[in-house]
Amino acid sequence: MTTEGTSFVHLPDAWYAVAIAKTLRSTPRSSTLFGQPIVTFRDASGRPSTLLDRCPHRNVPLSLGRVVEGRLECAYHGWQFDGDGTCQVVPGLCRVATSRGRTATAFETREQQGLIWVWGVPNAIPTTDPPSFPHVGEAGYHTVYDVVEAQGTLHAAAENALDVPHTSFLHRGLFRGGKARNEIEVVVRRFSDRCEAEYIGEPRPSGLVGRLLAPGGGEVIHFDRFILPCLVQVEYRLSERSHLFVNTALTPLSRDRTRLFAVIAFRLPLPGFLVAPLVRPIARAIFAQDARILRAQHETISRFGGEQFHSTEVDALGPHILHLMRQAAKGGSSTATEEPYTRRFTLLT
Amino acid sequence: MTTEGTSFVHLPDAWYAVAIAKTLRSTPRSSTLFGQPIVTFRDASGRPSTLLDRCPHRNVPLSLGRVVEGRLECAYHGWQFDGDGTCQVVPGLCRVATSRGRTATAFETREQQGLIWVWGVPNAIPTTDPPSFPHVGEAGYHTVYDVVEAQGTLHAAAENALDVPHTSFLHRGLFRGGKARNEIEVVVRRFSDRCEAEYIGEPRPSGLVGRLLAPGGGEVIHFDRFILPCLVQVEYRLSERSHLFVNTALTPLSRDRTRLFAVIAFRLPLPGFLVAPLVRPIARAIFAQDARILRAQHETISRFGGEQFHSTEVDALGPHILHLMRQAAKGGSSTATEEPYTRRFTLLT
Amino acid sequence: MTTEGTSFVHLPDAWYAVAIAKTLRSTPRSSTLFGQPIVTFRDASGRPSTLLDRCPHRNVPLSLGRVVEGRLECAYHGWQFDGDGTCQVVPGLCRVATSRGRTATAFETREQQGLIWVWGVPNAIPTTDPPSFPHVGEAGYHTVYDVVEAQGTLHAAAENALDVPHTSFLHRGLFRGGKARNEIEVVVRRFSDRCEAEYIGEPRPSGLVGRLLAPGGGEVIHFDRFILPCLVQVEYRLSERSHLFVNTALTPLSRDRTRLFAVIAFRLPLPGFLVAPLVRPIARAIFAQDARILRAQHETISRFGGEQFHSTEVDALGPHILHLMRQAAKGGSSTATEEPYTRRFTLLT
C-alpha cells in the first residue's frame, strides 16, 4: 500500500492540549495551534483563558505583556483584556475603553485532569468536552506528566508513538531488541472514531525488571490505540498489580510541528515513590531518539515535496489513523453501531 | 478606525540618510535602500559617492573592495570605478577601460549637517536638497549623533518614535509613568507635507532633574512632528534655557527594516560636556525597548499576512503619517496654501 | 558581451564525483546531486553503491542508518537494501521482504582513479565511462586529492577555477601580482565538447622557487581547459622535470552549490615527499579566497534575481564554458571533426 501527498489533516473542531495545568501560573503562556499564535493566562480567580496572540491595537503579541488584576495587559500601550477578549482599559483615553473593534479574539479554554485544553476554533461554542484519561486520579495509580515536541505532522507523531516494529531498531537496548524472536498475533480494529491494535502472546519482559513487575511470569496484555482527533493510548498490563497506561494528547502547533502532552498513569508492585522519578527520564530518552528520526523524516519529506510511503502489514495503525482523520475532515463520521473493521497478522519481534 | 494591509509605502524620489558623515572614512560602506544593495565611499577629495553594490563585470559586491586613488576597486578582478560609476581600469585589458556596459549604477550623494544623504533613484537628478535640521550647529546648542535599526516598516518606526501613550508602559521608569495623572490637551494638525501634535498643559517633570532643567517650574512646550517622506522631530522646551530637539531621519533599508539616524540638538542650563555623554546611553536604553516591541510587532504582522490595526483618538499621529505617505505615493501632494486639518483631544497621562 | 539570466545548466546524463574513494569506508555517505539527496556506501565486497537518500517505507534518510552484511539498513524500522536498491529485509514481517514498491531508487556508481563517480540519472544505464585524469598514477608523478565546496553554479565555479586575471587581485601575494608587467599572448580554442586557453610567453616565476623548479629559466607552458560537463584542468609545464596538472571534477550539489574534487598530479625536480604536504594547504588558502568571492557573487545574484555580467576579451573561457553547457543541454553536440573556434588576444599581467 502506497500513500502519497502529505499527512496533515485540519481538524479544528476539537479540544487540543496547550499546557500542563500546574505549570501555568501568572505569566502568560504563548503557543500556536494550527499555526495561529495564541496566549493562555489565568485570570484573578485562576480560571484559564486563551486569546489570539495579537493585540487588536498595533498587533504586538499579547504574550509579551503581563496579567494585571486578572486581565492581560499589552506591553506596548497597556490595553487590558478580559478572558473573553473584551478590552477594559485603554490608557490615555478619556472615554469608555470597551468597543467591538478593540476586542481580542478568544478561544474556549478548560482545565481538566491536569491539562489545559483549548477549542480549536475561536469565538465558537464547543460541542464536546475535553477527552478524559482512564485511571488518572484513580486509587492506587500514580500519574506523571510531561511535554515534548516533534517536527512533523500530528499523524507522523501519532504513528510513531503507536508503532511497535521500530522499537527494536531505533530504541535497541532501551526497549525491545533481545536475541529471542517471538511470533505475536496482532488484531487490528478500526471503529468510527478510533482504531486499536491488540498484541496477543507477547511474553513478559525477561530479566530482573520483568520478574519484579510480574513475579508470576506469563503474558503481557498490550493495546495501542488512537482516538480522533488527537489522543494516543498505550496500555501494558503485566499482572494484576502491574498496569501502565500512557495517554498522549497531540497538539498540531502547525502543519508540520506537533507537541505531545504525555499523561502516564501506572500501578506497580513497587512503591510509586521509587518508580515515579524514573518514568520521565526513561520516556525522554526514548523520545529523543524518536524526535531525531521524526525531524529527519520531516526534512526528507519537505525536500521531496511530499510523502511517498510504502506500508506493509506490520504497519499496524498508521494507515488507519490517516484514514480516520481524512474521514473526519470530510465530516463523514460513521455511526457508532457500525461493525468495526478487523484484520489479523503475525508480528515477528 | 481600522487599518488593514501593510504600511510600507514606496517613496523613492527623496533623500535618505545612509551614514553619519564622520564615521565614513576610506573604507567603503555597504547598505541597502528599498532592498537594493548600495555602497558609499569617499573619493580622493573626500567627496562621498554611492554606487549600486554590484560590479557590472561578475556581480560581486563592490563593498568587498577598497578605494584606490579615489576610485572604488572590485576585490575580484580589480576593475576600478569613479564616483559617477565610470569604469576607469580593467586590469589585464590592453584597450581603453571605459565603456558604457562597464559603468556601475550611481546614486546622487550629499554631505550635509553631519549626515551622508543618498537620492533614492539611481541615475537621477535630485529635485530638492536634503532636509535641514533646526538648531544643529546653532550657537549655544550641542549636537549628538546616533544610529539604530528597527525591524518593521518606516511607518511603524515613525509612529513609534512619535507616540506618547506607549511611553508610560513600555518605558515605565525610564520616561513617563509616575503616579499623578494629568489631563493634557493635544492639538493635531495635518498639512500637505507634514503632520504634528502639540501637547498643551504638560507639567514640568517632577524631581531633581525637572528642577535643574527648569528651575522656574511651569509647563513644557512639546511638539511631535513628521515631515514627508522620512523625517521625525520631537521638540521639548522646558524653559528659556532648556531646549531639546530630536531630529530622526528614517531610512527604509527594505520593506520591513528601517534605520534611524538620530541628530539630537539641545541647549540646557547644565554644561553640555556633562550632559552630552549621557544622551546616547539614555536614548539607546529607551530605543532597545522600542526595538524589541517593533520586532515582535513585525513578526506578528508577517505571521498573519498583514496589519490589522485598530486606532483610538489617542493615536495622535500614526494614521496621519500613513495618510500623508499614501497621498505622496499617489503623487497628489496638496497645495501649501490649503487650510490644515485640525483636531483636538484630551490625553490622560 | 553581456550575459543575463542564471548560469545553471541541467546536464544529468553524465558522471559526477561524489567522494574521494579512500575516505568512503563502512559508514554511509550522504550527499546531494542536482538537489536530490543521495547516499553512497560500500557493500560487503567493497563495491560502492548509491541510492536515493529516502527509505521507501517512511521516507527517513537512509544515510542515518548503517551497513549490515553489505546492505544499507534504515535507522527507523531496519529495512535493508542491496546496492541495487532491492529491499531484502523487513523486520517483523513473516513474508518475503522483496517487493517492487519497497525498492529504493538506485544510481550507477563507479570507482576510478581514486574517486567515486555517480551517474546523474537514477535507474539508468550509463552511456560513457567516468572521465580519466592524465598523469594520475603515471610513473614519476605524485597525486594529491582534496575536496572543497563553493556557493554558486557549477559554471561560476568553473569560470573562477580557469580565470587568470583575478589571480593578481584576489590572490595578491599568494599567486601572481608582482611589479613587473608582461604581455602574454592567449589563444582560446573551443571544440565540440571542450574549450581551452593557451598562454604563450608567460615567464618562469621569479625568485628562489622559480629557480628550483626550472633551473634553466625559460618560459612556462600553461593550458587551462574545460571539458563537458564538469571537468576543469589547469596545466603548468615549467621545464622537462617540472609538470603540474590540476584536474578538478565539479559536482552540482544543487542549482547554486558546487563541490570541487581536486586531483593534483605533479612531477617536480624536488622530492615528492617534500612537496606533497605543501600542496593541499596552499591550494586551500587560495581556494578560501575564491570561496568568499563566489559566495558574495552568489548572494548578489540572488538578491538581484539573476546574473547581469559584462565580459571583456580577457574573460578567456567563462563565456565559452556557458556556451558549451547550453549547447549540450539542447542536445546539439557538434561533430568532433568540426574546425574549432579560435581567437587570440594579449593579456597584461
Please check the confidence at residue A336 and state whether its pLDDT lies above 70. Answer: no
| pLDDT confidence tier of residue C193, bands split at 50, 70 and 90 | very high
Select from C53, C76, C102 the Cβ nearest to the Cβ of A169: C76
pLDDT value of residue B179:
58
Integer angstrom CA distances of residue B225 from A143, B146, B199, C184, C283 = 61, 19, 11, 65, 59
DSSP C227-288: ETTTEEEEEEEEETTEEEEEEEEEEEEETTEEEEEEEEEEE-SS-HHHHHHHHHHHHHHHHH
C-alpha cell at C23: 575516505
Residues C93, A313: C-beta atoms closer than 8 Å? yes
Which chain C residues touch B58 with a CB distance below 8 Å? 297, 309
| Burial class of residue A130, CB neighbours in 10 A (0-12, 13-18, 19+) | buried
Helical residues (DSSP H) of chain C, grouped into ranges: 154-162, 167-170, 207-213, 272-304, 318-329
User: CB distance A61–B300 less than 8 Å?
Assistant: yes
Q: Does the structure show a pLDDT above 80 at B305?
A: yes
Q: Are the Cβ atoms of A75 and B170 closer than 8 angstroms?
A: yes
Using the Cβ of B58 and the Cβ atoms of chain C, whether some distance falls under 8 Å is answered with yes
Strand order across the A115-119 sheet? A15-20, A115-119, A109-112
* Residue C273: per-residue pLDDT: 81
Nearest to C102 among A165, A310, A314 (CB): A310
pLDDT at A54: 98
When pLDDT is cut at 50, 70 and 90, the band that residue B333 belongs to is: low
Of C297, C313, C345, the CB nearest to B58: C297
Verify cis geometry, omega within 30 degrees of 0, for the bond prior to A229: yes
Count of CB pairs separated by less than 8 Å, B with C: 77
| Cβ proximity of A285 and A277 under 8 Å | no
> Considering the entire predicted model, what is its pTM?
0.92
Rounded-to-integer distance, Cα A85 and Cα B165, Å: 21
Q: CA-based diameter of chain A, in Å? A: 79
Say which residue the cell 544510481 belongs to.
C107
Instruction: Give the HSE-up count for residue A210: Cα atoms under 13 Å, Cβ half-sphere.
Output: 12
Q: Do C170 and B76 touch (CB under 8 A)?
A: yes
The answer, for C305 touching chain A at a CB cutoff of 8 Å, is no
Mean pLDDT (whole number) for C116-140: 96
Strand order in the sheet with C257-267: C142-151, C257-267, C242-254, C231-239, C221-227, C194-200, C183-190, C341-348
Q: Which amino acid is at C62?
A: L
Confidence band (pLDDT; 50, 70, 90) for C174?
A: low
- Put simply, the chain B residues between 179 and 238 with a CB less than 8 A from any chain A CB are 183
To the nearest whole Å, the CA of C114 is away from the closest chain A CA by 30
> Are the C-beta atoms of B2 and B309 separated by less than 8 Å?
yes
Least CB-CB distance to B76: which of C169, C313, C348?
C169
Residue A171 with chain C: CB contacts under 8 Å: none
pLDDT tens string C81-97: 999 999 999 999 988 87
What residues of chain B lie within 8 A of the CB of C2, using their CB? 101
Residue among B7, B185, B286, B303 with most chain A CBs within 10 A, to mutate:
B303
The percent of residues above 70 in pLDDT, for chain C, comes to 93
Please give the pLDDT value at position B26.
Answer: 85
Contact across the interface for C309 and B59, Cβ inside 8 Å? yes
Question: Does residue B2 surpass a pLDDT of 60?
Answer: no
Angstrom CA distances, B7 to B157, B301, B338, stand at 11, 11, 26
Q: Which of A232, A228, A233 is nearest to A244 (CA)?
A: A233
- Choose the closest CB to A310 out of C53, C56, C92: C56
CA of A23 vs chain B CAs: smallest distance (Å): 24
Query: Which amino acid belongs to residue C173?
Result: G
For B246-255, what is the mean pLDDT?
Answer: 97
Angle, CA B274 vertex, CA B268 and CA B277 arms, to 5°: 105
CA atoms within 13 A on the CB side of B220: 22
Whole-angstrom CA distances from A33 to A39, A64, A121, B226, C74 are 10, 18, 10, 40, 32
* Contact check, Cβ <8 Å, C293/B64: yes
Neighbors of chain C with 3 or more C-beta pairs under 8 Å: A, B
Q: Grid coordinates representing B114?
A: 553631519
Cell reading at A230: 488527537
The helix-helix angle for C154-162 and C318-329 (nearest 10°) equals 150
Query: Which residues of C fall within a CB distance of 8 Å from B90?
Result: 312, 314
* Cα separation, A102 vs A106, whole angstroms: 12
The answer, for B37 touching chain C at a CB cutoff of 8 Å, is yes
Share above pLDDT 90 across residues of chain A, in percent, rounded to a whole number = 74
- Does B201 or A160 have the greater pLDDT score? A160
| pLDDT reported for residue A219 | 81
Backbone angles phi, psi at A319, to 5 degrees: -65, -35
Q: Give the chain C residue nearest B57 (alpha carbons).
A: C310
**Whether the bond into B229 is cis, omega within 30 of 0:** yes
User: In this model, does residue C265 exceed pLDDT 50?
Assistant: yes
The predicted-structure confidence for A195-243, as pLDDT tens digits, reads as follows 999 999 888 776 666 777 777 777 889 999 999 999 999 999 988 889 9
Helix %, strand %, coil % for chain C, to 5? 20, 35, 40
Instruction: Tally Cβ neighbours within 10 Å of residue A68.
Output: 12
Which amino acid, C72? L
Within its chain, how far is the Cα of B193 from the centroid?
16
Which residue(s) pair with A39 in the sheet? A30, A51
Q: Is B162 exposed, middle or buried (0-12, 13-18, 19+ CB in 10 A)?
A: buried
Say which residues have a Cβ less than 8 Å from residue C126's Cβ, sequence separation at least 6: C15, C108, C119
What is the model's pLDDT at position A68? 96
Helix (H, G, I), strand (E, B) or coil at B95: coil
Confidence band, pLDDT 50/70/90 cuts, at residue B178:
low
Return all residues near B189 (Cβ < 8 A) that are at least 6 apart.
B195, B196, B198, B340, B341, B342
Domain(s) labelled CATH 2.102.10.10 in chain B stretch across 20-119
d(CA B208, CA B118): 43
Residue of A nearest to C100 (CA): A310
Share of chain B above pLDDT 70, in %: 93
Q: Which residues of B touch A94 (CB under 8 A)?
A: 183, 345-348
User: A279-305: per-residue pLDDT in tens?
Assistant: 888 889 999 999 999 999 999 999 999
Start-end of CATH 3.90.380.10 domains in chain A: 142-348
Distance (Å) from the alpha carbon of B330 to chain C's nearest alpha carbon: 26
For chain C, say whether B91 makes contact (Cβ under 8 Å). yes
H/E element, C115: strand C115-119
Residues of A in contact with C60 (CB under 8 A): 293, 296-297, 300
Q: What is the pLDDT of residue C1?
A: 46
Residues of A in contact with B310 (CB under 8 A): 56-57, 101-102
Cell readout for C122 is 537514477
Three-state DSSP class for residue A324: helix
Candidates B64, B73, B94; nearest CB to C348: B94
Query: Does domain C20-119 match CATH 1.10.940.10?
Result: no
Which chains does B contact via 3+ CB–CB distances below 8 A? A, C
Query: Across the interface, do C76 and A168 touch by the CB < 8 Å criterion?
Result: no
Confidence of residue B122 (pLDDT cuts 50, 70, 90): very high
Q: Following DSSP, what letter does each residue of A154-189 receive, concatenated?
A: HHHHHHHHH-STTHHHHTTTTSS--S---EEEEEEE
What is the distance between the alpha carbons of residues B30 and C3, in angstroms, rounded to a whole number? 25
Q: State how far the Cα of A336 lies from the Cα of A325, in Å rounded to an integer.
A: 16
A123 CA: distance to closest CA in chain B (Å): 18
C346 in reach of chain B (CB within 8 A) = yes
CB of B260 closer than 8 Å to CB of B286 = no
C297 touches chain B (CB under 8 A): yes
Q: Is the pLDDT of residue A268 over 80?
A: yes
pLDDT at position C278 is 85
User: Cα–Cα distance between A82 and B232 in angstroms, integer?
Assistant: 36
Would you state the pLDDT for residue A30?
98
- Per-residue pLDDT, C333: 57
Mean pLDDT over the full length of chain B: 91
Distance (Å, whole) CA B310 – CA B1: 6
**Mean pLDDT computed over B136-157:** 96
Please confirm whether the linkage preceding C229 is cis (ω < 30° from 0): yes
User: What single letter denotes the amino acid at residue C339?
Assistant: E
pLDDT of residue C35 exceeding 90: yes
Q: Which residue has the higher pLDDT, C100 or C64?
A: C64
Say if CB A239 and CB A215 are below 8 A apart.
yes
More confident residue, A272 or A307: A307
Return d(Cα A200, Cα C310) in angstroms, integer.
Answer: 74
pLDDT average, residue stretch A176-203: 86
pLDDT given for residue C334 in this prediction? 53
Position C303 scores a pLDDT of 95
pLDDT band for position A1 (50/70/90)?
very low
With an 8 Å Cβ cutoff, are A312 and C59 in contact?
A: no
Rg, C-alpha atoms of chain A: 22
Element at B345 (helix H, strand E): strand B341-348
Q: How far is C102 from chain B (nearest CA, A)?
A: 40
* CB A149 within 8 Å of CB A251: no
> Chain A residue closest to B166 (CA)?
A77
Q: Would you give the distance in Å from CA B347 to the centre of its chain?
A: 27
pLDDT in tens, C280-331: 888 899 999 999 999 999 999 999 999 999 999 999 999 999 999 999 999 8
Region A166-176 average pLDDT: 77
Residue B64 to residue C296, Cβ atoms within 8 A: yes
Q: Work out the number of other CB atoms within 10 angstroms of the CB of residue C146.
A: 17
> Which of residues 230 through 249 in chain B touch A, CB cutoff 8 A?
none
C-alpha grid cell, residue A257: 510541528
Top mean-pLDDT range of B211-215, B304-308, C271-275: B304-308
What homologous superfamily is domain A142-348 in, according to CATH?
Naphthalene 1,2-dioxygenase Alpha Subunit; Chain A, domain 1 (3.90.380.10)
A286 contacts chain C (CB < 8 A): no
Where do we find the cell 569506508? C25
| B57/C contact by beta carbon, under 8 A | yes
Asked whether the beta carbons of residue C183 and residue B90 sit closer than 8 angstroms, the reply is no
Counted residue by residue, chain A has a size of: 349
